[in-house]
Amino acid sequence: MRFLPVSLTTLLVELADLQETLALFASLEADPVPGIADMVPAARTLMIRFHPGATTPEALARQVATRDLSARIAPSDKLVEIPVRYDGEDLADVADLTGLSVEEVVRRHVESEFTVAFCGFAPGFGYLVGGDPALHVPRRQSPRTRIPAGAVALAGAFSGVYPQESPGGWQIIGVTPEKMWDLSRDPPALFQPGYGVRFYDLAKRAYTAAAPVATTDSVASAEAPGGVSFTVLAAPMPALFQDAGRFGQTGQGVSSAGALDQGAFQAANRVVGNPSGATCLEITLGGFSVAVSGRTVIGVTGAPCPIEIRDAEGRVQQGKTYRPISLEPGDVVTLGQAPKGMRSYLAVRGGFDVAPVLGSTSTDTLAVVGPDPVTKGAVLKVNTDTSNLMSVSLEETPAFAHPGSDDVVTLDVVMGPRSDWFTQAGIDTLSSQLFRMTPQSNRVGIRLSGDIPLERKDKAELPSEGTATGAIQVPHSGQPVLFLADHPLTGGYPVIATVAEYHLDLAGQIPVNAHIRFRPIAPFTDIVPAKA
């Protein structure tokens, strides 16, 4: 085993192959090491997130290194059959790459029995192994910006099915009408690790779709008698319900999401006397306006936006961020655009009444999991349960000075886990030059532009492996992407460094056109297991 640093709370265990990875994963699930918070298995790595107060990277590495990797995982008795229309855009290219005819590619794919090795990239995306070795083909040189939902594809030793429309670089050989991710199912992911999978050709066998299951709207209705509701009058950019995050769902390929500025999110709840994890609204770039139906208290934190309150008689007063604001029936609250920062958090006393999805009310924009984005005309119900409320806080302050679009923001980074995939010039470039945040950035990640691309040693393909929030992934262009809370669970490009956890909130507040300087807090080196 090789132990590589990812961040201050995450390490990557590199193993010889997938079998060793699955054996280690199974061992740690059956006999957990104290302090492990979460694990993400991948092609030949296991990413482990740990509680820093319970263990250290060196102590964790020592305990993991003793595990037996010779065990083989017993396959599940569950077999899933997937219908396919074999008319994919890359089917002819796959035939050329393998030296087979199109008909032979289809025959070999249909006659293979696959196993779901692990899930990642997107909710419900299972990495399938065990197919015909003749069908092993590389990823496309230039990834597509759009791959349709249900695309059946190949990459390296894996086969897979895209659960939803997304970008991707796998070779598409067909499309299935089967829903790979469906929140009306339990579990939602059709593919679960260990399941057997077979594909069949729709040209030779009919398929009957399952009847859809009716689901309820995730946003609670405001038609129930009593209580307070907000009616959204303006939302230039849709607001998002957010909480602390969605944890424990990595086995289905679902990352944590959650508020990008966790400190501001928690402060907003303290301002109104809520438990720290109560659901808030995350508002990007201001312009958001609501009318309130009853008496309540709100708090706004994060980016320092101007707050205007207009009462039923038309009188206007100004509110302050990080201070409780008392509202009366008929009041209209409008958040202006903040001169600095990017995201504001609006909390209401009692919290918003929103049904959790997979244990969380966070809206994950990449995975499309959680409550719908909040747009003009939405009616938001306030929770009427007051049993766990506390006194409002009058002592909250921002944790840092919010950056403006002309500022240079310094972010501390942990080098690794793939710093050694880059030349010394590439590593030096990471910390010596400024990177501009481009308008293509969002909650998935900050797309950066630098004058000098980060130079890699070669163009080798990296087998998919787990990625952490804050990871600085470098595609072939050499222009890095800094992953934020809605990032994919696994990725296929090397991560040169990862932003230290204590600077993630700051990263979530960087506005477009601001510049970022990365400051390594230590040189890259493998983690050496502690001595017994």
DSSP string, 139-177: PPSS-EEEE-TTEEEEEBTEEEE-SSSEEE-SEEEEE--
pLDDT at 203 exceeding the cut of 90: yes
CB burial of 124-142 (b: ≥16 within 10 Å; e: otherwise) equals bbbbbbbbbeebebebbee
As a whole number of angstroms, the distance between CA 133 and CA 135 comes to: 5
Contacts for 42 with CB less than 8 Å, ≥ 6 apart = 21, 118, 120, 127, 463, 464, 465, 466, 490
2-65 and 79-201 in the same fold: no
Two structure tokens written together for 32: 């957990």
In sequence order, the 6+-apart residues with CB closer than 8 A to the CB of 45 are: 12, 13, 14, 15, 21, 463, 465, 466
Average pLDDT over residues 73-94: 92
Structural domain spans, the chain: 2-65, 79-201, 229-381, 408-520
Instruction: State residue 289 phi and psi, 5-degree precision.
Output: -140, 140
CA pair distance 200, 414, nearest whole angstrom:
46
pLDDT at 221: 40
CATH number of 408-520: 2.40.100.10
Chain segment 16-69, per-residue pLDDT in tens: 999 999 999 999 999 999 999 999 999 999 999 999 999 999 999 999 999 999
This model's pTM is above 0.85: yes
C-alpha span between 151 and 89 (Å, rounded): 10
With CA atoms as reference, report the closest residue to 446 among 487, 490, 501.
Answer: 487
CA distances 189 to 131, 214, 422, Å, are 21, 17, 36
Segment 381-399 shows an average pLDDT of 94
Q: Residue 271 in contact with residue 349, Cβ under 8 Å?
A: no
From the list 18, 17, 10, the residue with the least C-alpha distance to 36 is 10
Longest pairwise C-alpha distance within the chain: 77
In whole angstroms, what is the distance from residue 302 CA to residue 305 CA?
Answer: 8
Tens digits of residue pLDDT in 205-245: 988 776 655 544 444 443 445 689 999 999 999 999 999 99
**Are 325 and 309 in contact, with CB atoms under 8 Å apart?**
yes
The reply to whether CATH 2.40.100.10 applies to domain 79-201 is yes
Token pair for 155: 């990459």
* Mean of pLDDT values over 489-500: 94
Helix (H) / strand (E) element for 430: namely helix 424-432
User: Which CATH entry fits the domain spanning 2-65: 3.30.1360.40, 1.10.238.10, 3.40.50.1010, 3.40.50.150?
Assistant: 3.30.1360.40
> What average pLDDT does this structure show over 472-496?
94
pLDDT at 315 over 50: yes
In this structure, are residues 302 and 403 in contact, taking their beta carbons and an 8 Å threshold?
Answer: no
Please, are residues 342 and 303 in contact by the beta-carbon 8 Å criterion?
Answer: yes
Say what angle helices 91-98 and 102-111 make with each other, to 10 degrees: 90
As a whole number, the mean pLDDT across the chain is 93
Which residue did the predictor score with more confidence, 77 or 160?
Answer: 160
Half-sphere exposure of 11 (CA within 13 A, CB side): 27
Mean pLDDT of 342-364: 97
- Residues 281 and 361 sit within 8 Å (Cβ to Cβ): no
